Amino acid sequence: MPDRDLFDLTGRVAVVTGGSRGLGRQMVLAFAEHGADVVIASRKLENCEEVARRVEALGRQALPVAYHAGDWSSSDALYETVYDRFGRVDVLVNNAGMSPLYESVDTISEALYDKVMEVNLKGPFRLSALVGTRMAGPDHGGSDGGSIIFVSSTASRRPSPSELVYGAAKAGVNNLTYGLARTLGPKVRVNCIVPGPFLTDISKAWDLDAFEANAKSAFALERGGQPHEIVGAALYLASDASSYTTGALIDVDGGPR
């Protein structure tokens, strides 16, 4: 295959949860720019519709869908909606996530604990089980069933005191990546992007002066990531460029020291 075709997604259907903002939005637009039709799934439908218009302006089909990653039945509904519209999924990106703040570890409520686990682990498991089984089945078409991409976090390995539950949930995502790669192979590839700190809209709540000062000593690249810098890893895992890569965790984190 010529190198110029490795990242071509023409004719493929990609689903991106949490696709209306941040890293998910960057992935949606990158997939569309490389030829894919894209499903944008997130809690606020109007935000999904705005991104869908951007995708359509690139000449690709877009399907905005309201989706709550923490609701088991919402994964079922998204699965049915996508297959009713397109009849196939070639790329699934489990990007939706949340990490709410809390005062101290002893103040974490059962409701908060359950919500973080549901959004970051339960939902991605259910959606991947449904889509992955269909990808691996005989009705998907072709020898390659597709690619599932999880989005984890460096907190899965080195959680700060404010990320304990979130880090535990993302550690589960890392484990799920390995397990599903073996469950759904050989037709389906399952991999995981492990981002460090990215300067998305969530960073507006940070003390950016303190972050930038700390980054000088905390990261080899001495800065946080820009949203577009997630695109290379996402395109690699979504496309034929990663045809012999599965069960992998790919760090995109600026090189923590």
Structure tokens at 19: 């696709």
> What is the SS3 assignment for 42?
strand
Amino acid (1-letter code) at residue 98: M
- Cα–Cα distance between 44 and 116 in angstroms, integer? 18
The three-class DSSP label of residue 158 is coil
Give me the sign of the Cα torsion angle 173, 95, 111, 101: positive
* Residue 166 a catalytic site member: yes
Q: What are 208's two structure tokens?
A: 């950016």
- Catalytic one among 67, 79, 166, 236? 166
Alpha helices of 34-158 — where are they, by DSSP H? 45-57, 72-86, 110-117, 123-136
Rounded Cα distance, 67 and 201, in Å: 20
Give catalytic residue positions. 166
